[in-house]
Structure 1
Amino acid sequence: MSGLLDGRIAIVTGAGRGLGREHALELARQGATVIVNDLGTSGAGEGSSAGPADEVVAQIRAAGGEAVTNNADVADFAAAEGLVKQAIATFGGLDVLVNNAGFVRDRMLVNTSEEEWDAVIRVHLKGHFAMLRHAGAYWRAEAKAGRPRAARVINTSSGAGLQGSVGQATYSAAKAGIAGLTLVAAAELKPYGVTVNALAPSARTRMTEAVFAATMTAPDQGFDRMHPANVSPVVAWLASPGAADVTGRVIEVEGSRICVEDGWRHGPAADRDDRWDAAAVGPALRDLLARAGDPEPPYGAR
C-alpha cells in the first residue's frame, strides 16, 4: 500500500462503520498507518463492542497495510489523551487526526430531553475538542522542540450544522459548534505547521440511512452518489503534505460534488456614530436586510 500518505500516522475516530470506516480504509490505501478508533455503540450511542474496529483493522492488514485498534470513548478527556499517546508509543508519532465519531438522537426541539441534548453535544462537540486538545498539545511541543510535523486535522461538521435541519436541533448545534471550533483551531495551530479543516459530508450511513434510502443505486446502475466512500478521497488529500496551504475551511462533499462553504461574513452595515434610537433601528435594519442575501432555509423546512 503506497500513495499520498506514505509514512504518515493517522487516527480516525468512529472508524468502525460508515464514513469513518471508509476514511480509515482510504488512508491505509494511500500508505498511512492507521489507529482505528471506535467504541462500537449503536446508532443512538448505546452499548459498546470491539468488533467493528477489529474488523476494519483486519481488512487493512489483509490488504498489506498497518493498523491497530482503539476502543476509547473520545469524549472522555483522559481516554482521548490515551488515544494520542497510543499513536506516539506504538508508531513513534502522529501526523493526521480525523475526528468523525458521533451518533444522533433526532427529535423536534420541544420534545428533546436534557439527556438527549447532553449525549449528542458530548460525543460530537466535546469529542472533537478532547482529541484536538491533546493532539494539538503534542504538535505544539514537537514544534517547540525543533521537531515540527506537517500535521493535519480533518473534522466532521454537517450541512445540518451550516444550514440547520428540522428535527435535528441538537445535532445541528453540535455540528455548527464543530465548524466554529475548526476556524479557531486552524488559527491557533497554524504557527506549529498544523492545518485544521472540516467536512460537511452527505452520505448513506447508519445515521442517514432512512433519509437516503430512496437514493440507493444498484451496482449495475452506475455511480452510487450516497456511498460513504465517495467522501474519503477528500479526507486523504487534506491529510497529505500537499495540502499545507489549506486550512480553516469547511468543505461539503456529496457524491462527486465538492463545494467550499462560504460561511459567516460581514455583510451590509450602517453606523451612525452615536447610540441608536430604538425607533430608528427598524428602518435601518430593514434597509440592510433588503441589501443582504436571503439565508438558505434549514433542511426539511416548509
Structure 2
Amino acid sequence: MTAFTDALPGQPFTLAGTEEEGFDTLYGIPAIALGEECDRLMALGHIPDRAVLAVTNAYHRRVWGHRILPSSELADLTRFGTKRIRIKVTKGGEDDEYAWHFEDADTDDPTSQTATVIDVEWLDHEDVAIQSECPACNRASRSTSLTTGPGRAGWGRYHRCRYCDHKWPAAPVRRPDLAKRRCWNPTRPDGCFACACQPDYPCTAGCAIWHNPLIGQRLCATCRNQHTDDVWKQLVAVAYGTATTFEDLDDQRDRWLYSEALRGIPPAQAAQTWQHRLTLTALRAAPRPQPVTA
C-alpha cells in the first residue's frame, strides 16, 4: 500500500506506520477528532472496549482539559457509541482544506485499513481546574464549567460545590493553553452589563435596559434591583464595572464581587478575598520544582 509521504493527491494510502497528520497518540493509539464540532473520535485499528474508554478519557483531559462525568451516555459508549469499520484514505490536493480524506470501505478492499469511531458528542464533562474553596462552605472544588452567572454578561468559568451547590467564578490561571478555545460571547453593546438581558431578548417579561450612572454601565431593571444604592456604591468603590473589555481577569472579578454581594458579603471584603484567591490559584498552578537526585 502506498505510504503517506509518497501518495499522490486522490491516491489511496495508509495512515498506519506513518507520521499521521493531525493525530494525537493516546495510550499508544493514534486518534483524531472528526467533524466541525469534534463530536467523534477516530482511532486507528479495531481497539477493544477498554482502549475505547482510555482513549476517550485521555483525549478529553489532554486536548480539551475536560473531566468526563458519569452519565448514561458514558455507560452506553462501548455498546452503542462505538463502531469498528474499515476505511479507505486518500491524500488531499494542494488546494484542499484537508491533508487527507477517508470513506467507508468493503472488508475485501486491499487499500482499506481498520479504524474505530467513537461518538463523544453527548458525554457530560467539566473542565479540569485548579483547586478552589467554596466561599459558602469552604469545601474544595477541582473542576469548572463554562456557563453564565450574575454580575457580568457573557460566559465565564464557574466552580460548583458538590456539597452545598453554591456556584462561584473561578480565578483565572495565566498559563499556556493548548486546548481549542471557545470564543463566542453572547453580549451586545446595547445589552445589560450584568446579565444576558437584551432589548429584544429580555431576561424577564418587560425588563428594560438603561444606562445606570452609579456604575457607568447599562443595567436592566432586574439586575439594578438586586442591590441597594448603597451596595452599588460600594461595588463601584472597589472598581466593579470599570473594565471596558471582556478579558478573563476583569470578567471574573466583576462576577465574583457581584455574586458575593448577593450573599451579603461587603464588596471591600470580597475584593480582598478575590486578590487572595488570585495569589493562591497562581501558586497552585505554578510548576512544582523537581527533586534533585544525586
Q: Normalized against structure 1, the TM-score is what?
A: 0.22
Bigger fraction of residues in helix: 1
Bigger fraction of residues in strand: 2
Q: Normalized against structure 2, the TM-score is what?
A: 0.22
Rg (Cα) greater in structure? 2
Structure with more contact order per residue of length (Cα contacts < 8 Å, sep ≥ 6) = 1
